[in-house]
């Protein structure tokens, strides 16, 4: 006998209501309907678009993806069509598949570039329910260190992105001990939530060629190996900011790993690298989360949020 239909799955992330807590992670499900042959995108909590800049961007040279054990390293370099082209094509295709909740991720290399991408979303249709600001980008105005490693710069980007006229989610980097301080700064600047985390800086070397596996040298590590790192970031951030909504992302491949993020303090989760091995992974994770709740007498996923803190 199953009671699964009775598990209440709807969650609130700031002012945004989601019918369930499982989304795809930016950059791992394309810009639009690339995965729709495998995955009913309309059933996700929300579809998160790969990061877009104001202008089209070619990304990095190949090779830009490489397996590392059960994890993965990439240096795609934020390839994308730009916000305007996406609104005219990618957005339309998602609507054609019945997708009603879209989170657009944006990036830039200067505060002005972030603001330009955000401004292009000011008149986007209401299905664009939030803008996720990918702060793991090098700041060309300041020695190329990542915005997300600097609380003041991160706050400046979020302030500049208010022109998008949507709820802002700030996506932070795990490669700093300043995560709670950056979270504090972006929340004060107007972010409704933080997404934790982006990829971990890494490198893989091919012993046969004696060279890095990626054309750019290093890249971002994702997948099962970073799950405890992202979980710790969520846990620490929840402890420092109990009222700040968090979206947990990093190495989720099954329902229990999503439960772990909720227990650590996340209000919702994103599934990324697991999708490369199993394009159905995000909805499978949702089913497994529902089954876990059913088996463990949890009627409402919101009961789990932050429970590990006692
Ligand atoms: C191939 C690839 C491309 C990615 N592109 C983006 C991106 O455009 N914007 C972004 O914010 N994160 C990007 N990410 C990071 C993911 O959204 C996610 O934060 C990270 O991979 C950790 O989650 P995972 O272990 O479930 O993949 C990318 C990750 C991968 C593997």
Rounded CA-CA distance 87/145 in Å is: 30
pLDDT at site 143: 67
Dihedral over Cα of 179, 184, 187, 192: its sign: positive
Residue 237 counted as domain residue: yes
Q: For residue 2, is pLDDT > 70? A: no
Pairing of strands 71-74, 65-68: antiparallel
Q: How many CB atoms lie within 10 A of CB 48?
A: 28
Pair of tokens at residue 115 = 């603001």
Q: Determine the Cα–Cα distance for residues 289 and 38; give it in Å rounded to an integer.
A: 19
Report CA(299)–ligand 1 centroid distance (Å). Answer: 31
Separation between Cα atoms, residue 260 and residue 252, nearest integer Å = 9
Residues of the chain with pLDDT > 90, as a percent, come to 93
Calculate how far, in angstroms, residue 25's C-alpha sits from the geometric centre of ligand 1: 6
Say if ligand 1 is within 6 A of residue 195 CB. no
**What does the pLDDT look like over 97-123, one tens digit per residue?**
999 999 999 999 999 999 999 999 999
Do the beta carbons of residue 151 and residue 181 sit within 8 Å? yes
**Catalytic-role residue among 9, 137, 237, 293:** 137
Q: Does 32 contact ligand 1 (Cβ within 6 A)?
A: no
- Helix intervals (H) in 143-301: 151-160, 179-188, 227-240, 255-264, 274-277, 281-295
Return the HEC string of 83-130: HHHHHHCHHHHHHHCCCCCEEEEECCCCHHHHHHHHHCCCCCCCCEEE
Whether residue 7 has pLDDT greater than 70? yes
pTM above 0.95, yes or no: yes
Q: Which two tokens stand for residue 23?
A: 């989304």
Q: What's the pLDDT tens digit per position in 20-73?
A: 999 999 999 999 999 999 999 999 999 999 999 999 999 899 999 999 999 999
Residue where the block lists tokens 């249709």: 125
Q: How many domains does the chain fold into?
A: 1
Give the dihedral of Cα atoms 140, 143, 149, 150; nearest 10 deg: -90
- Is the CB of residue 173 below 6 angstroms from any atom belonging to ligand 1? no
Q: Is 139 in contact with 109 (CB distance < 8 Å)? A: yes
CATH code, 18: 3.20.20.70
Q: How far is the CA of 38 from the centre of ligand 1 (A)?
A: 19
Q: State the pLDDT at residue 216.
A: 92
- Tokens 């439960």 sit at which residue? 259
From 215, 214, 219, select the one nearest 201 (Cα to Cα): 219
Q: Is 137 annotated as catalytic?
A: yes
The closest-lying atom of ligand 1 relative to the alpha carbon of residue 74 is: 1
Inter-CA distances, 100 with 49, 97, 194, Å: 13, 9, 22
Please state, in angstroms and rounded to a whole number, the distance separating the CA atoms of residues 128 and 105: 10
Q: What is the spatial distance between Cα 179 and Cα 58, in angstroms, rounded to a whole number?
A: 30
Nearest ligand 1 atom to the CA of 230 is 22
Give the per-residue pLDDT at 101: 98
Considering the domain boundaries, does residue 51 fall inside one? yes
Whether 302 is in a domain gets the answer yes
C-alpha 8 to ligand 1 mean position (Å): 28
Mean pLDDT of 211-238: 96
Domain span at residue 163 reads 4-59+78-203+222-309
Q: Does the CB atom of residue 180 touch ligand 1 within 6 A?
A: no
Task: State if residue 134 touches ligand 1 by the CB under 6 angstroms criterion.
Answer: yes
Tell me, in angstroms, the distance from the centre of ligand 1 to residue 24's CA: 9
Does any ligand 1 atom lie closer than 6 A to the CB of residue 45?
A: no
Determine which residue's CA is closest to atom 28 belonging to ligand 1.
27
pLDDT in tens, 163-207: 999 999 999 999 999 999 999 999 999 999 999 999 999 999 999
């Amino acid at each position: 006998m199953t009671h699964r239909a009775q598990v209440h799955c709807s969650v609130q992330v700031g002012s945004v209501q989601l019918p369930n807590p499982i989304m795809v992670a930016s950059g791992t499900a394309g810009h639009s309907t690339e995965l729709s042959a495998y995955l009913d995108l309309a059933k996700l909590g929300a579809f998160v678009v790969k990061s877009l800049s104001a202008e089209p961007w070619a990304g990095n040279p190949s090779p830009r993806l490489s397996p590392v054990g059960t994890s993965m390293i990439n240096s795609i370099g934020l390839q994308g069509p730009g916000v305007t082209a996406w609104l005219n094509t990618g957005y339309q295709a998602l609507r054609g598949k019945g997708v009603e909740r879209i989170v657009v991720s944006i990036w830039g290399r200067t505060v002005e570039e972030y603001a330009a991408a955000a401004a292009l979303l000011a008149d986007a249709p209401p299905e664009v329910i939030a803008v996720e600001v990918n702060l793991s980008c090098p700041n060309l105005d300041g020695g190329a260190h990542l915005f997300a490693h600097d609380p003041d710069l991160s706050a400046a980007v979020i302030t500049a992105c208010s022109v998008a006229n949507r709820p802002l989610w700030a996506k932070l980097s795990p490669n700093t001990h300043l995560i709670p301080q950056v979270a504090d700064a972006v929340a004060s600047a107007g972010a409704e939530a933080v997404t934790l985390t982006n990829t971990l800086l890494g490198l893989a070397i091919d012993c046969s060629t004696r060279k890095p596996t990626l054309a750019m040298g290093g890249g971002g590590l994702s997948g099962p190996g970073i799950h405890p790192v992202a979980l710790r970031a969520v846990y620490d951030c929840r402890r420092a900011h109990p009222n700040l909504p968090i979206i947990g992302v990093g190495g989720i491949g099954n329902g229990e790993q999503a439960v772990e993020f909720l227990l650590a303090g996340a209000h919702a989760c994103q599934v990324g690298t697991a999708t490369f091995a199993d394009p159905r992974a995000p909805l499978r994770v949702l089913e497994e989360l529902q089954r876990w709740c059913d088996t463990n007498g949890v009627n409402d996923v919101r009961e789990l949020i932050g429970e590990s803190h006692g």
